[in-house]
Amino acid sequence: MIPHCRLTGFVLAMGLAVATLPAPAAAAMSEAEAVKMIEATFDVQVLRVRGQQIGDRPAWLLTVMNRGGDFNTAFQVNTLAVDRETGKLLPAVRHGPSGYEPYGADRREDKVGVRPDAIRSRPWR
């Protein structure tokens, strides 16, 4: 039979060994989970969800609208970026070569690139 103090030491050593094991990786946040979290946290209505790679991280871009009411930002529409792996909000802008760029800015088309003669046809304001 093992003496009580040796058994206690063994149990403590096993507990420390288990505590130092790496935690299992959390499952990626699904689209439905992201919608539920954002609607509950910010009291908004999610209009659209799309997946996008932001830098090296997969993210959900959620287009949300504030609820109607008696305040200045009623029905205001915004886009929130949620990290799929951690479920945390990502910053609204990123640093670009010419300053800050909102997410999705690389998808916008340049007017001159679409129609090179457009720059001469009329002033763009």
Is 36 a domain residue? Answer: yes
Q: Is the residue at 6 inside a domain?
A: no
Structural domain includes residue 86: yes
pLDDT digits (tens, 9 = 90+) for 26-70: 578 999 999 999 999 999 999 999 999 887 889 999 999 999 999
Residue 23 lies in a domain: no
Q: How many domains does the chain have?
A: 1
For 8: left if phi > 0, alpha if psi spans -120 to 50, otherwise beta; the answer is alpha
Q: Which domain holds residue 94?
A: 31-121
Task: Identify the CA nearest to 33 among candidates 79, 91, 87.
Answer: 87
pTM: 0.58
For strands 77-83 and 57-66, give the pairing.
antiparallel
Q: Is residue 57 part of a domain?
A: yes
Residue 11 lies in a domain: no
* 21 part of a folded domain: no
